[in-house]
Amino acid sequence: MNVRTRSALKLGLRYAIAIAITLFFLFPIYWLFMISFKTADEIYAYPPVWWPSTLQFGSYAVLFRDGDADTVWNSLVVSGVSTVLAMFFGTICAYSLARFRTGGDHLANWIISQRMVPPIAIVFPVFLLYVWLKLVDTYAGMILLYTAFNLPYVIWMMRGYVLDIPVALEESALVDGCSRWAVIWKVVFPMCRAGLFATAIFTFVFAWNDFIFALVLTRTEVTTYTVQVTHYFGGQSNFWSKISAMSVLGTLPIFVIVGFMQRYLVRGISLGAVKG
């Protein structure tokens, strides 16, 4: 066998393995999504139905009719608003940490360590606090909590992006007549536009995907889609179509967003340790 056929065979083998692995990781998602388009008979068929015969949208109609789909709106509001707040406050804080070494390494390390506290340990006292402040099951309460929870991430990530900006750009703007604030608006924000965007996406996804905070701190008014999904859990398997449809409503937007974010994915999920 000559070298060329051998390497062709090797490539073929690698393709086969790659496809098998990809199928393994995608199939559960396919299965989850597909259930929402099946008829009840297909869902509870034995043996399982691998391909639905027709695409049914009845499961979604039910969610919208009963108002269950509103929980996606709740997710959007609390995730969206908290992302904007966390991005703004976090970025200016990150700028100060990066440029002026405000608080030195101690402050930066303290902030990132905040990120590592388990949510359950945070949410319990926050719950007690919120009962007292009457913030349980309110938009304001959830937004404040997600903002606080995401701040360390934003600060940590944006600190990295700010450090990537050549200082001379800012100095040049200072000499050219900008105030300190103008430098942030006119140089820092435009210079880390991509980083701002990527960090905002991840911040949004973290809040969007959260379950435990929402489980503890919401009741009926601001229930998020993740909590709503669990409402269908339990003995009755006749809720499967709702679990599936609700999950699709919550997951599909994330897939779309992340599809556009490939380039920043690695830096985003590795807390900036790997620059993508």
Partner 1 sequence: MAATAGRSGDRGFRYSLVAPSIVILLLIGVFPLVYLLVVSFQGITMMETDTSFHGLLNYRLLFSDARLWQSLLHTIVFTVVALPIELGLGLAMAQLFIDRLPGRQVFVALLVLPVVVSPIVAGATWSLMFDNRFGPVNEIIGWIAGKEMPLLWTVKPDLVYVAILVAEIWQWTPFMFLLLLAALSRVDRSQLEAAQIDGAGYWRTFFRIVLPAIWPVMAVAILIRGLDLFRLFDIVWALTKGGPGTMTETISIFTYVKGFQQFETSYTAAVALLIIVLLSVLVLTALRRVSLSR
Partner 2 sequence: MSDLKISGLHKYYGALHVVKGIDLDIPAGEFTVLVGQSGCGKSTLLRTIAGLEVADKGAIEIGGQRVNDLAPRDRDIAMVFQNYALYPYMTVFDNIAFGLRARKTPKSEIGPKVAAAAKMLGIDHLLERFPRQLSGGQLQRVAIGRAVVRNARLYLFDEPLSNLDAQLRDEMRGEIKRLHQELGKTMIYVTHDQIEAMTMADRIVLLREGVIEQQGAPLDLYERPATRYVAGFLGSPSMNFIPAGVVANGAAISVRLGDGTSLPVPAERAVGLGTWQGKPLMLGVRPEHIGPAGRDQRPGLAPVQAVVDLVQPTGSRSYATFQLGGVAAVAELQAHDVSRPGERLELSIDMNRTVLIDAATEKVISS
* Binding-site ranges for partner 2 (CB under 8 A): 166, 168-169, 171-179, 182, 186-187, 190-191, 193
Q: Which is nearer to partner 1, 64 or 127 (CB)?
A: 127
The CA-atom distances, in angstroms, between 8 and each of 3, 17, 55, 121, 159 are: 9, 14, 40, 54, 46
CB of 22 to partner 2, least distance (A): 36
Which partner, partner 1, partner 2, none, binds residue 258 by CB below 5 to 8 Å per kind? Answer: partner 1
Q: Among residues 53 and 179, whose Cβ is nearest to partner 2?
A: 179
Read off the tokens for 270: 């590795």
| Contact partner, 127, from partner 2, partner 1, none, Cβ < 5-8 Å per class | partner 1
Tell me which of partner 2, partner 1, none is bound by residue 178, counting a contact when its beta carbon lies within the kind-specific cut-off of 5 to 8 angstroms: partner 2
In the list partner 2, partner 1, none, the entry touching 114 (Cβ below 5 to 8 angstroms by class) is: partner 1
Say how far apart CA 227 and CA 127 lie, in whole Å: 16
- Residue closer to partner 2 by CB (options 47, 166) is 166
62 versus 163: smaller Cβ distance to partner 1: 163
Give the shortest CB-221-to-partner 1 separation in angstroms. 18
Q: How far is the CB of 3 from partner 1 (least distance, A)?
A: 15
Q: How far is the CB of 196 from partner 1 (least distance, A)?
A: 16
Nearest distance, CB of residue 169 and partner 1, angstroms: 11
Residue 122, binding choice from partner 1, partner 2, none, Cβ under 5 to 8 Å by partner class: partner 1
